[in-house]
A and B are shown apart, each in its own frame.
Chain A
Amino acid sequence: MRKKITNVTIHSIVQKPYKGELIIEDGKIAEVGKTCSQTVDEVIDGKGGLCFPGFIDAHSHIGLNAEGYGFEYDDVNEMTNPVTPEVRTEDAFVPTDAALKESALGGVLVHCVLTGSANPVGGLAFIVRHTPSNLTGDKVVQRDVGLKMATGENPKRVYGAKNQMPVTRMGTAAVIRKYLQDGKNYIEKKAKAEKEKKPFFETDLKLEIAEKVLKKIIPVRIHCHRSEDMLTAIRIKEEFGIRMVIEHATEYLKVREEIKKSGVPVILGPFMSCRPKVELKDMTYKTYKGALEDGVLMACMSDHPVFPSQVLRLQAGMAVAYGADEEGMFRALTIMPAQILGIDQDFGSIEKGKQASLCIWDGHPFDARSRVIWNDQDSWTAL
């Protein structure tokens, strides 16, 4: 089954926008250009709309707190133990969460779903895409894509209330360090057992994940708002030689030099909110502009349900209002999060061979009045 989309302006992200056509075959982009020559089974007239790659929300809790069900569907934070690397968002994800459909209406077709930030060591994230299926399995793009960690006020508040470590930022850093050190010891023990050809080695599922982190198979996705928390995170990264992504990075501008030097990507947001916590005091949309200017790998997050994923695009629009480069903000919704998440071979731009994760808009996505009138997954269309 080959489908052709005609009569659209293609915003491929990798090229300047142009009026063109593209062909979809087996869910992939088979051809894209000013005109496409292959014969097709179906032609979709885009009616002069704007064709964008589906936006990627690189930091979300969508599906972990299904809309309209309250506490019964609240599976964001396993707040019973500060170190829970073994928990997985895939196990708690609700594929019928109404927010997934709504996000698609806002152009967001891919979500990276993380655990919350109550625990210094949170759990494993996974990536889903929007599909009409009611199964998680049909939505999975990639499993176990990062280990969530958290610094700052949240772990302190949660475990402080229980008189349990950590009650300070020092405690949080210590809990994280101990976990990673346990992981190092575990790797050594495992290697030794192998060397001595021991018949039996006792595996530990918590530390198997630390092994993946320490061997750089997966990155740490660390929640930081304040500058000192980001520096602590980078310090730990250097000590253990691990891969890291800094999440939120609210005070990015205060330590932009250090972050740039460290090579750590940042996922910024959600800045379209109020400031109920001390660590959010200096939150500003200007951060996006700064990060773009610095040339660091940067993505724009919703942190859904903190800020609804459906209107992620408006947050990017606000960043433009505060001086960020418009084309840069489109990259922060597409190719840059794809690169950070390691799915850029399939997602993040309109190029031959990539997944046809596409939306047609009837107007500029940063304009609140614009709508998605077609996407590659839903039978629904307003074309």
Chain B
Amino acid sequence: MLIVKGAQIWKDRGLKRLDFSVEGGKLSGFSPSLLPGPHDEVLNLSGHYVYPGLIDPHTHVGLLEEETGNFAGDDVNETTSPATPGVRAIDGINPMDAGIRNARNYGVTTVCVMPGSANVIGGEGVVIKTAGKSVDGMVVSSARKIVKMAFGRNITWTWSKKEKYPSTRLAVGAVLREKLNAAKNYMANPERVCTYEMEVLANLLKKEAIARIHVANLEDIETIARIAREFDFDYVLDHATALHTNVEFAKTLKVPVILGPLNVAGKSFQSYDVTFASVKILLEAGLLVSVMSDAPVIPLNLVRLQLFLVDRYRLDRSDILDLFTENPAKTLGIEKQTGSLGIGKDADFIVLDGDIFDYRSRIRSTYINGNAVGGEDYEMDS
């Protein structure tokens, strides 16, 4: 058993002076003072701050690798058909990617990795911890199944260049309707021949899986909401760049949103409405809000910058930390396993030498399942 003593720890939405113990990779006890037994290992963290490991619910790390140039490490979009529900992110992830190393060294202990947004149906996403050499061993198995989708101009941008369907937004919804209708036929057909593609979509219609939808503009969010009503499936809005421009509408959707990447210029037609203010507006509207890096769009070694910038809107700091911990955990369905410090949860935590909102404070170490796996100094050494 590992006994961590002396630190200020972030628990139940506040910093508290508590010791805690780790057993079998799980958090096993919290108390103002824990007495170690003769066989216990003791870690003294006086003067340090412990926070739950950060969770990034929308990344492409491992799929769109850094430090490899443009092509060799790019496995993010299977742009050979506008609907590829049969492809799985897990089959393209390189756990040695610098992006994943960055994640653990800078405090991100869990990431959701998904295919890109060039296809209406991109494939299956996966939730992984950020340390390990084999991706299979990194999978967070309690997570709900994920079907990545994309809507709007990213799609038509990709496919109009190829002069292929769907080249306009007229047809983007049609592609999704056609595939979901095929899945309904498949489920109803007593003589069906099993295909992996259709099983993935059947999971969605049976609500075992959730759709994760890349969408930016308000009119495209409306289209998604319409189709989700027609076919009755659960979904999360990813990016949702313009959702804050109609709060009343946002409230009616009753779906989780994952905002970001927010630290970007208005470089494309999908980011005209991008602003950190959207976090404040949608939180105040009562939505379940998380923030994504879309790594490597924003590399995961800069995940804390987003925290600082959200703080400029002077929100409650517990609410800000939730954006990067509990809220994404709830959205991914892993809140019972990780995302906060509590008995029985995975021992995923980060140790800082100061308050997480102080830009001078450094992440001294990152723990995943109770093991020290990284920290800012690890990066220095490499």
The answer to whether any beta carbons of A and B sit under 8 Å apart in the complex is yes
Instruction: Please measure, in the bound complex, the distance between the C-alpha atom of A137 and the C-alpha atom of B225, giving whole angstroms.
Output: 10
Query: How many B residues have CB within 8 A of the partner chain?
Result: 35
Q: Are A86 and B178 in contact, with the CB atoms below 8 A?
A: yes
Given A69-B269, A76-B168, A203-B185 in contact, is the A91-B173 Cβ separation under 8 Å? yes
Residues of B within 8 A of A96 (CB): 218-219
Given A69-B269, A205-B181 in contact, is the A135-B218 Cβ separation under 8 Å? yes
Q: Are B246 and A202 in contact, with the CB atoms below 8 A?
A: no
Q: How far is the CB of A72 from chain B (nearest CB, A)?
A: 5
* Interface membership of chain B positions 156-171, coded 1 if the CB is closer than 8 angstroms to chain A and 0 otherwise: 1101000111111111
Residues of B within 8 A of A185 (CB): none
Q: Are B174 and A199 in contact, with the CB atoms below 8 A?
A: no
8 Å CB interface, A94-137 against B:
94-96, 115, 123, 133-137
Residues of B within 8 A of A136 (CB): 219, 222
Residues of A within 8 A of B164 (CB): 80
Residues of A within 8 A of B72 (CB): none
Q: Are B170 and A87 in contact, with the CB atoms below 8 A?
A: yes
Given A75-B168, A135-B218 in contact, is the A91-B184 Cβ separation under 8 Å? no
Q: Which of A78, A89, A200 contacts B166 (CB 8 A)?
A: A78
Instruction: Please measure, in the bound complex, the distance between the C-alpha atom of A64 and the C-alpha atom of B167, giving whole angstroms.
Output: 13
Please, which residue of chain A has its CB at the minimum distance from the CB of B189? A200
Residues of B within 8 A of A86 (CB): 171, 174, 177-178
Q: Are A94 and B189 in contact, with the CB atoms below 8 A?
A: no
Q: Which of B168, B171, B185, B269 contacts A202 (CB 8 A)?
A: B185
Residues of A within 8 A of B265 (CB): none
Query: How many A residues have CB within 8 A of the partner chain?
Result: 37
Q: Are A91 and B169 in contact, with the CB atoms below 8 A?
A: yes
Q: Which of A79, A81, A134, A202 contacts B218 (CB 8 A)?
A: A134
Please, which residue of chain B has its CB at the minimum distance from the CB of A123? B170
Q: Are B189 and A202 in contact, with the CB atoms below 8 A?
A: yes
Instruction: Please measure, in the bound complex, the distance between the C-alpha atom of A115 and the C-alpha atom of B168, giving whole angstroms.
Output: 11
Q: How far is the CB of A188 from chain B (nearest CB, A)?
A: 18
Instruction: Please measure, in the bound complex, the distance between the C-alpha atom of A208 and the C-alpha atom of B94, giving whole angstroms.
Output: 44
Q: Are A200 and B188 in contact, with the CB atoms below 8 A?
A: yes
Q: Are B163 and A91 in contact, with the CB atoms below 8 A?
A: no
8 Å CB interface, A259-302 against B:
none
Specify which of B157, B166, B169, B245 lies most central, judged by the most chain A CB atoms within 10 Å of its CB. B169
* Interface membership of chain A positions 40-75, coded 1 if the CB is closer than 8 angstroms to chain B and 0 otherwise: 000000000000000000000000100001001111
Q: How far is the CB of B330 from chain A (nearest CB, A)?
A: 27
Q: Are B165 and A91 in contact, with the CB atoms below 8 A?
A: no
A330 CB-CB contact with B under 8 Å: no
8 Å CB interface, B232-255 against A:
245-246, 249
Instruction: Please measure, in the bound complex, the distance between the C-alpha atom of A200 and the C-alpha atom of B189, giving whole angstroms.
Output: 6
Residues of B within 8 A of A95 (CB): 218-219
Residues of A within 8 A of B177 (CB): 86, 205
Instruction: Please measure, in the bound complex, the distance between the C-alpha atom of A78 and the C-alpha atom of B82, giving whole angstroms.
Output: 14
Residues of B within 8 A of A4 (CB): none
Residues of B within 8 A of A123 (CB): 170
Q: Are A78 and B222 in contact, with the CB atoms below 8 A?
A: no
Q: Which of B159, B170, B178 contacts A91 (CB 8 A)?
A: B170
Instruction: Please measure, in the bound complex, the distance between the C-alpha atom of A64 and the C-alpha atom of B172, giving whole angstroms.
Output: 14
B153 CB-CB contact with A under 8 Å: yes
Instruction: Please measure, in the bound complex, the distance between the C-alpha atom of A72 and the C-alpha atom of B166, giving whole angstroms.
Output: 14
8 Å CB interface, A150-177 against B:
none
Given A80-B165, A203-B185 in contact, is the A115-B170 Cβ separation under 8 Å? yes
Q: Are B170 and A92 in contact, with the CB atoms below 8 A?
A: yes
8 Å CB interface, B183-228 against A:
184-185, 188-191, 217-219, 222-223, 226
Q: Are A135 and B222 in contact, with the CB atoms below 8 A?
A: yes
A334 CB-CB contact with B under 8 Å: no
Q: Are B222 and A87 in contact, with the CB atoms below 8 A?
A: no
Known: A115-B170, A200-B191, A203-B185. 15 other contacts (CB 8 A): A75-B168, A78-B165, A78-B168, A79-B163, A80-B159, A87-B171, A87-B174, A91-B173, A93-B219, A134-B218, A134-B246, A135-B249, A199-B188, A200-B190, A203-B181
Shortest 7 CB-CB contacts between residues of A and residues of B: A91-B173, A92-B169, A87-B170, A80-B165, A75-B168, A86-B174, A75-B169
22 residue pairs A–B, Cβ–Cβ below 8 Å: A69-B269, A72-B153, A72-B157, A73-B269, A75-B168, A75-B170, A77-B168, A78-B168, A79-B163, A80-B171, A87-B170, A87-B171, A90-B226, A92-B170, A94-B219, A133-B246, A135-B222, A200-B189, A202-B185, A203-B181, A203-B184, A205-B178
